[in-house]
Amino acid sequence: MSSEERFVIRVGDKEVEINEETLKILRRYKRTEMTLEQLAAALGLESWDEAYELVKRIPAWLLDIEPTMWKVTYKRYVVEKMKQQ
């Protein structure tokens, strides 16, 4: 993906890029008893409150996508968004 096609969520002064790897971690958080502290550590965030801010900003549809389908699904999302503009 080019830099224009990156899906980034800002948390404080950091940018968390959503890609196959981060999506795997986020889906594990959603489906298990992973704590916000563990999520922060897995994503390289500084604290549980940064992880909480990230979780609040993630669109709900995103967590239902299989990580292996991320590139295809995101490309469709970008095309649809461009059509709406």
Confidence of residue 84 (pLDDT cuts 50, 70, 90): confident
pLDDT of 1 reads: 44
17 HSE (CA, 13 A, CB side)? 10
Residue type, 12: G
pLDDT at 23: 95
Contact 42, 25 (CB under 8 A): yes
Q: Does the pLDDT at position 11 exceed 80?
A: yes
